[in-house]
Structure 1
Amino acid sequence: MYTLRLIPGTPDAVLSALAEVLEGSGTPFAPLPADPAGAARVRQAAAPDEPLEADCAVVLTTSGSSGEPKGVLLSREALIASAMATHDRLGGPGQWLLPMQPYFVGGLQILTRSVLAGTTPVVAGDNFTAAAETMTGVRRYTAMVPTQLARYLESEPDALRSFDAIVIGGAATSAELKARAAAEQVNAIPAYGMTETGSGCVYAGVPLEGTEVGFEGDRILIKGPTLFSGYRLRPELTAEVLRDGWFRTQDRGRLVDGRLQVIGRLDDVIISGGVNVTLPAVQTRLLQHPEVLDAVVLGVPDAEWGSRVVAFVVGEAGRDELRDFVAEELPRTWAPREVVRLAALPMLASGKVDRQGLLDGVR
């Protein structure tokens, strides 16, 4: 049984280690972020000194945006299946640009696709347009989170248009952002997936080849060859989420005209004072206010209410004004009891809002 290697989470180091495990000659590894806190989370979740479970090529650590980070075991077969299905959906292998860190699954899979395609990935660095201009592949692809897409649409739309396809993952892509990309003639493809599914496994609502989508109530279930093997040294948690070949996600969804529509997380519905509150609906309403630039709405444990609705808002609007605004369209009982005004929402390196950090700041 192999022990787990810890390697620097740089593009060159991860690319080299990936090439070895994909050809079957390398040993399993976990990439470390450069920042000490991130590296400490990986060391904790990956547990390099413990014997490694079978069927593992890479251990990636979940971002911990809403809880304790977990070590996700990805097999060589899962990595390959994801990369091949992505190329099949996009129209064939191509050259990839890497604008994100390779110690997250989205960045890692850009490098996996590059190895399998026999192409050299280009690292975006600090100049996205200059990096894109160095690409020579017949087909040109990249992947990024919605925050990056929004920024590049503002500053570098010509570079975005030069790609045959841009896969957008890591967080939900808003209808407004999709419309902006379409207006700029940018082929942005929203993808649904996570570390446990080997990156995106549903593109524009349609599962990749080999992937199946099911439901348990409105909980989204995923089945297919890209799934992870389990959580590092967490057999009970693995058994809870992997059942009969299906991965029980924490997301809620439905089929609309045959396409998967993700409608939120299971913990997006809280009970506050005996009333069920759908947090995404409150967040969507707040974002319609002309003085709200950005917002996220969370449920915070509360001794009196069970959970209280707290809105973290970027903008000038005050609490009473926002409560009234929410109550114009939604039940008054859904209006946030607390509004925390911020200069900007805190983001993790993965491009997701640091929900756990926000919760820790108000408890």
Structure 2
Amino acid sequence: MTKPFDPQAFAAEAAARLTGPGGRFELVVEDVLGAQMPVMRHRSTSLGEVLAASTAHGDRDYLVTEDRRMSFTEHASAVAALAAALRARYGVRKGDRVGILAANTPEWVLTFWAAQALGAIAVGYNAWWAPREIAYGVEHTSPTVLVVDAKRAALLAELDIQVPVLTMEHDLPALLTDFPTATLPNIEVDEDDPAVILYTSGTSGRPKGAVHSHRNLVAVIDYHMFNDALAAAFTGTTELPSRRRYLLTSPLFHIASLHNLVVPRLVTGDAAVIHQGSFDADRVLRLIERERISNWGAMPTMATRMLELDLSHYDLSSLTAFSLNSAPSSAALQQRLRDHLPVARNALVTSYGLTECSTAATLAGPAELAAFPDTVGRPVVGVTLEIRDSAGNTVAEGTEGEICVRSPYVMLGYWQDEAATAAAITPDRWLRTGDIGVLDDGRLRLSGRRSDLILRGGENVYPTEVEQRLEEHPAVRECAVVGVPDADLGQQVAALVVVESPTATTEDELRAFTADRLAYYKVPARWRLTTTALPRNATGKVVRTAIEV
């Protein structure tokens, strides 16, 4: 009698071979910032090393847009020129910050890699920030130079920014022309030196800068290479896939696009095809057709909008991998994808991760996700995951608690915020995610996102930040911001505002006031103005569950 195939057991056996002694991805326990944890023995030690090796991919496409193509050779040459210019003209040195404030463009990627070539720290500012948020970010990380696109340059004109500003449309092309024979510098950096800062919304009302090291990003690359090897094992080959084409639809200031798409392609030799402009399902599907996209990681909101179209009108046969990223997805959405998108029938995956973790902490494969649609999977290679109670003790399987993660992917900490870093990362390098979950037979199930976090179309919105801005309005006595369900975006931002009198202000006035101070996605879409005080408990905290907007 033939023994039934158990994909989970097969994957475990293949992973053991790959990560065991002598394996291609052999794991060894080493000291990482004072904590013992598994890391890959055969690894690069810096992103500069990764960049230098990328020229081996030659004339293959690396970056592609609707009207531009850049090969790996062209990319390395442009990065060398830009790095030389930043060093010679603007004095950028190891450890300096290079700010990037722009929508998705090849120049965004060039600037990131030029910073790495110099041993500098790339700072990916949120391109959707309002001017006041931009001013805060620039002051917070003090970049030596700021690289922006034309739209953000216009916003900067409203601010007193005392930093050299280079535009992607005019200044960068001129700099590349000025240093045509430059070669990549060879700057020594330590594995645990900072490489990039990405901002995550702050529970205390201000965005926090998550600092990721060279070790973090190199480990992310190896994680993706390991996943490729594991997938190859299922087909009975040791050859890793090549010539894939990845669709980039999320902002480059997110780990989904930068750490987990653009950066690993420099090692795998695959193309990153960049969708530019706001998400338009028809344009994206046409791009998949034209560029023969093989891999796409989409936000649930994007998937929902795509399903509103008749997919039979598009040639999506090139897609071989599809994942749902950045926010939880419902069983209903997953099934609709399987029903209408051919690749989803056998290749739909999802994951759980956060900016502080650099990449996924868990991953749910196609078979397990189909059987358990509420799971976000099992810990990925190199990750140790525990569920802990409020005292920090590990709880039994099936018991709800805080998700805690330790791995070489976990950030160094928050830029210039020792208190927030200490609250998030324990002395033995466990990351307290603030998310609530349950482990069932090794599978993670989320039972709550960070305290009051609102997930709007894949973007994190913390109520405190919105409330603090609203409370600057003279007519607002107090307010509470909550998330309300939305079929398209997952959640919308809603505000209950307590005012002095019914005529003190209006929804339109408050909306405009907030839009002047916050990114558009943080501006409440629903409002209720009242003269009745907010509901509070015995300790004076607002009872958000009692709020109706």
State the TM-score, normalizing by the size of structure 1: 0.68
Contact 2:126 2:199 in 1 (8 A): no
Q: For structure 1, which segment, 63-72 or 199-208, has the greater mean C-alpha deviation from structure 2 after superposition?
A: 63-72
* Match 1:89 to one of 227, 237, 243: 227
Structure 1 residue 232: Cα displacement: 0.4
Amino acid at match of 1:175: A
Question: How many residue pairs align between the two structures?
Answer: 300
Contact 2:300 2:327 in 1 (8 A): yes
Secondary structure of the equivalent of 2:329? coil
Q: Where do 1:211-226 residues align within 5 Å? A: 211-217=383-389, 218-226=401-409
Amino acid at match of 2:273: V
Measure the CA separation in 1 of the matches of 2:203 and 2:290.
34
Task: Rate the CA distance shift 1:311–1:229 in 2: closer, same or farther, 3 A.
Answer: closer
Secondary structure of the equivalent of 1:183? helix
Task: Rate the CA distance shift 1:20–1:117 in 2: closer, same or farther, 3 A.
Answer: farther
* Alignment pair present for 1:98 and 2:248: yes
Contact 2:217 2:358 in 1 (8 A): yes
Measure the CA separation in 2 of the matches of 1:149 and 1:41.
33
Structure 1 residue 150: Cα displacement: 1.1
Amino acid at match of 2:434: Q
Q: Point out the structure with the larger strand share.
A: 1
Contact 1:59 1:72 in 2 (8 A): yes
Contact 2:353 2:361 in 1 (8 A): yes
* Match 1:75 to one of 189, 197, 213: 213
Which residue is equivalent to 1:197?
A: 357
Q: Give the aligned CA root-mean-square deviation in angstroms.
A: 4.2
* Match 1:175 to one of 296, 307, 331: 331
Which residue is equivalent to 2:183?
A: none
Which residue is equivalent to 1:58?
A: 196
Secondary structure of the equivalent of 1:155? coil
Q: For structure 1, which segment, 64-73 or 226-235, has the greater mean C-alpha deviation from structure 2 after superposition?
A: 64-73
Task: Rate the CA distance shift 1:353–1:254 in 2: closer, same or farther, 3 A.
Answer: farther
Structure 2 residue runs without a partner (length 5+):
1-93, 145-189, 232-239, 365-376, 390-400, 456-460, 469-478, 488-495, 498-506, 508-514, 535-549
Which digits, 9 at most, give the CA deviation of each residue in 1:273-325, with x for residues without a partner? xxxxxx99xxxxxxxxxxxxxxx9x8999xxxxx999674669xxxxxxxxxx
Contact 2:289 2:316 in 1 (8 A): no
Measure the CA separation in 1 of the matches of 2:98 and 2:202.
22
Contact 2:300 2:329 in 1 (8 A): yes
Contact 1:167 1:190 in 2 (8 A): yes
- Please tell me whether Structure 1 or Structure 2 has the larger radius of gyration of its CA atoms: 2
Which residue is equivalent to 1:16?
A: 110
Structure 1 residue 265: Cα displacement: 2.7
Amino acid at match of 2:305: R
Structure 1 residue 255: Cα displacement: 0.9
Which digits, 9 at most, give the CA deviation of each residue in 1:36-71, with x for residues without a partner? 61644532553436xxx9721111111458842110
Task: Rate the CA distance shift 1:159–1:149 in 2: closer, same or farther, 3 A.
Answer: farther
* Alignment pair present for 1:48 and 2:143: yes
Structure 1 residue 247: Cα displacement: 0.4
Q: Where do 1:310-321 residues align within 5 Å? A: 312=484
Amino acid at match of 1:12: P
Task: Rate the CA distance shift 1:103–1:176 in 2: closer, same or farther, 3 A.
Answer: same
Task: Rate the CA distance shift 1:16–1:312 in 2: closer, same or farther, 3 A.
Answer: same
Which residue is equivalent to 1:5?
A: 98
Task: Rate the CA distance shift 1:153–1:41 in 2: closer, same or farther, 3 A.
Answer: farther
Measure the CA separation in 2 of the matches of 1:174 and 1:114.
30
* Alignment pair present for 1:239 and 2:422: yes
Which residue is equivalent to 1:115?
A: 266
Identity of aligned residues (%): 25
Secondary structure of the equivalent of 1:68? coil
Measure the CA separation in 2 of the matches of 1:311 and 1:7.
30
* Alignment pair present for 1:154 and 2:308: yes
Task: Rate the CA distance shift 1:145–1:156 in 2: closer, same or farther, 3 A.
Answer: farther
Measure the CA separation in 2 of the matches of 1:211 and 1:47.
33
Contact 2:387 2:439 in 1 (8 A): no
Amino acid at match of 1:210: G
Structure 1 residue runs without a partner (length 5+):
270-278, 281-295, 302-306, 316-337, 343-347
Measure the CA separation in 1 of the matches of 2:208 and 2:481.
27
Q: Where do 1:258-297 residues align within 5 Å? A: 258-267=442-451
Structure 1 residue 234: Cα displacement: 0.5
Which residue is equivalent to 2:21?
A: none
Amino acid at match of 1:267: S
* Match 2:120 to one of 27, 50, 58: 27
Which digits, 9 at most, give the CA deviation of each residue in 1:96-133, with x for residues without a partner? 11112111221212111222222221112351122212
Measure the CA separation in 2 of the matches of 1:119 and 1:239.
38
Q: For structure 1, which segment, 61-70 or 208-217, has the greater mean C-alpha deviation from structure 2 after superposition?
A: 61-70
Measure the CA separation in 2 of the matches of 1:165 and 1:208.
18
Structure 1 residue 189: Cα displacement: 1.6
Contact 2:406 2:429 in 1 (8 A): yes
Contact 1:67 1:356 in 2 (8 A): no
Amino acid at match of 2:320: D
Measure the CA separation in 2 of the matches of 1:192 and 1:308.
28
Task: Rate the CA distance shift 1:100–1:41 in 2: closer, same or farther, 3 A.
Answer: farther
